[in-house]
């Protein structure tokens, strides 16, 4: 890829595994790319078609997302990777929101953590990285951290 490549480090709820962060660093160095960090917070539903305050992420979930993004930025900056931005989005449809963000910002590649095994049914929250990989118009690198036995 050419200079000016933009990589999206996308998370769908939890903290980024070290392996995911390391892969984003490796790709950024290899591609001479800038990295943006996106974290998605789950909104659980609506009331009469409008977001319902009781179903939005609570303060501790919001703080956890801020901490996750901050830790990712610290990791990237510790490896001298240029960071082009960070964003936290609350949504009922994480994969759709990530895909919209990719299209809107002109990202060239996505790095996400993914569970080793897909959960039963496509409706599972853990399957969001697989949905993004299946629907994205750009390369998506899914990193599966080793599981503890």
- Of 21-25, 40-44, 63-67, least confident by mean pLDDT is 40-44
pLDDT tens-place string over residues 43-71: 766 556 666 666 676 777 788 888 999 99
Digit-coded pLDDT (tens) for 122-141: 444 557 888 899 999 999 99
Mean pLDDT of 29-37: 94
Question: What pLDDT band is residue 118 in, cutting at 50, 70 and 90?
Answer: low
Q: What is the pLDDT of residue 51?
A: 60
Answer left, alpha or beta for residue 13, where phi above 0 means left and psi between -120 and 50 means alpha. Answer: left
Structure tokens at 17: 């595994």
Domains and CATH numbers, the chain: 6-143 (3.40.50.620)
pLDDT at residue 149, as a whole number: 46
DSSP string, 53-117: GGGS--HHHHHHHHHHHHHHHHHHHHTT--EEEEEEEEES-HHHHHHHHHHHHT-SEEEEE--SS
pTM, entire model: 0.84
φ/ψ of residue 100, rounded to 5:
-60, -40
Average pLDDT value over all residues in the chain: 84
């Amino acid at each position: 890829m050419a200079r000016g490549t933009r990589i999206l480090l996308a998370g769908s709820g939890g903290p980024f595994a070290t392996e995911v962060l390391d892969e984003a660093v490796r790709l950024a160095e290899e591609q001479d790319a800038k990295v943006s960090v996106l974290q998605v917070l789950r909104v659980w539903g609506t009331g009469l078609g409008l977001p319902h305050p009781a179903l939005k992420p609570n303060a501790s979930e919001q703080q956890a997302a801020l901490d996750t993004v901050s830790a990712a930025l610290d990791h990237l900056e510790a490896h001298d990777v240029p960071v082009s931005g960070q964003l936290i989005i609350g949504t009922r449809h994480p994969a759709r929101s990530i895909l919209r963000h990719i299209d809107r910002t002109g990202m060239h590649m996505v790095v996400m953590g993914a569970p080793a095994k897909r959960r039963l049914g496509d409706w599972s929250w853990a399957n969001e990285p697989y949905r993004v990989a299946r629907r994205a118009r750009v390369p998506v690198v899914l990193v599966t951290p080793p599981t503890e036995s």
